[in-house]
A and B are shown apart, each in its own frame.
Chain A
Amino acid sequence: MQAHSGAVTSTASVALSVAKDFSRTPGPRKRSEGKWSGEEFLDLLRAKYLEARELRVPLVVNLDGAAGYPTSFLEAAFGGLARDRDKSPKQVLDTLVLLCREEPDLVDEIRQYIRDARA
């Protein structure tokens, strides 16, 4: 997985912006707990991930523009992706590219959730 401070590569990729394609206000972990949950975002993330895998390009997830990210949201979404039966943490780490100018530390945090997903 690559972490970028903001530069966009010229290779083809599938793009996903959390703030524009999902919500400016990411919420709790589960759908039952509230709106804009990590579970809800995971559905979108899975669909984009599948698209990226079929095209054999990276999935670029832009985390900028949102109000912030609760830990449970991130774990439910990214950890949840790595827990899918047809995926492995290594595969997810290799496919995802995270753009995060506003909170650069989020990249390492999300990477940890992916690694720990099946621990």
Chain B
Amino acid sequence: MKKLYGEPPWKEHSARRSAAQLQPKLGRSKPAGHQRRQGYWLRGRRALRIKAPSVFSLVQNHDEMLFFIGLLKSAFARNNSVVIDMRDVNKVTSDGVIVMLSKLSDEAFVRGNDFGGNQPRNRTAREGLQRSGFFEFVSTRSLVEPSEHGRIRRKKSFQVESEIADELIRFATTKMFHAPQCRPGVYRVLVECMGNTHEHAPGGAEDDALDRAGRESWWATVYVHETTNRASFTFVDNGVGIFRSVTVRKIRRLLGAVIGDSANPKLLEDILQGRIQFPSRTGKKNRGKGLRAIFRQFQAGTVKELVIIANDVFADVARGRYDLMKIPFAGTLLHWEIE
């Protein structure tokens, strides 16, 4: 037996057999050694990586943010899981955060798909994200800074929740002045925004419209900036936006002409300035004054740096700029500051 196993033919046979037995373990086309799974995976499914813009703010970078939101939307529409890649984000603002939260919490936007993400590598941006209150709504395995500088609140019920407006103002003023203060102008703006979401939801009969208003969601946030001691408020609703609301369609009918969407910036300016009476959805007089009331607070100086983004209009009210955006925003955003 010893003579047989020592002979070259046996040795060649044995070597061939060993190689044949090893091959299935390595795989036919894979290189030798252990290979890691490439790409992004969520719950066992390959996910699409979508890179967030470097300036993560709708107010300061609306073109890139809206493009990014469009990419998310089409990825979800094609039933992809998505990983939001924020590693190269250098600036995060509270308005960018709640726009993202409002979209990711919208079932119609996400369509049941999974999503995940990472945090910015830039320390300031990462802290801004953590301190905004974002991680009160999103789970993470990392340790995060407490949300000392920001508060985020969302609509919890069918009704206008005026206590939330009071809570956000007291949080901001306590942070800024070490004691809560009343800011009636800011309170009015916030409650008007909530009321606008409620009142101007599209629909036919009043009951249907109220039902849709119950389903339409809003998010509100305040963030206190340490260095400037200013507070930024942002209110976002994921409705149809001012220009697709029943109310504005009424304005167009009242004006007796079909006005193209290119007139939207001018239309908003006219509404804010009071040159066009903004009828409420119900058509009753002395209603529908929310936007005008918000503008009057800006004129009175109780709110500063007012920005309104709705459908395809970007209005930097403080600078008198009313521009048409290339990519529309589904919903309405109002942003302002106090000092």
Please list the residues of chain A having a beta carbon within 8 angstroms of any beta carbon in chain B: 24-29, 32-36, 66-73, 75, 79, 102-103, 105, 113, 116-117, 119
Contact A102 B195 (CB under 8 A): no
Contact B162 A26 (CB under 8 A): yes
Q: Which among B32-40, B100-108, B113-121, B184-192 touches the partner chain?
A: B184-192
**Cβ contacts under 8 Å, A102 to chain B:** 182, 184
Contact A28 B160 (CB under 8 A): yes
Complex alpha-carbon distance, A66 and B188, angstroms = 11
Main secondary structure of the interface of A (DSSP, over half): loop
Residues of B within 8 Å of A, CB-based: how many? Answer: 28
Count contacts between A and B, CB distance < 8 Å.
84
Please list the residues of chain B having a beta carbon within 8 angstroms of any beta carbon in chain A: 159-163, 165-166, 169, 182-188, 191-192, 194-195, 198, 210, 285-287, 289-290, 293, 300
Contact A27 B192 (CB under 8 A): no
Contact of B162 among A27, A71, A103 (CB under 8 A): A27
**Cβ contacts under 8 Å, B192 to chain A:** 70-72
Can you give 24 A-B contacts (C-beta < 8 A)? A24-B166, A25-B162, A25-B163, A26-B162, A26-B191, A27-B160, A28-B194, A28-B198, A36-B162, A67-B184, A68-B182, A68-B183, A68-B186, A68-B188, A70-B195, A71-B289, A71-B293, A72-B192, A72-B289, A75-B287, A105-B300, A113-B286, A117-B286, A119-B285
Check A67/B287 contact, CB under 8 A, given A24-B166, A33-B160. no
Contact of A69 among B163, B184, B285 (CB under 8 A): B184
CB-CB nearest in chain B for A19: B182
Complex alpha-carbon distance, A117 and B284, angstroms = 11
Contact A79 B286 (CB under 8 A): yes
**Cβ contacts under 8 Å, A32 to chain B:** 210
**Cβ contacts under 8 Å, A70 to chain B:** 162, 188, 191-192, 195, 293
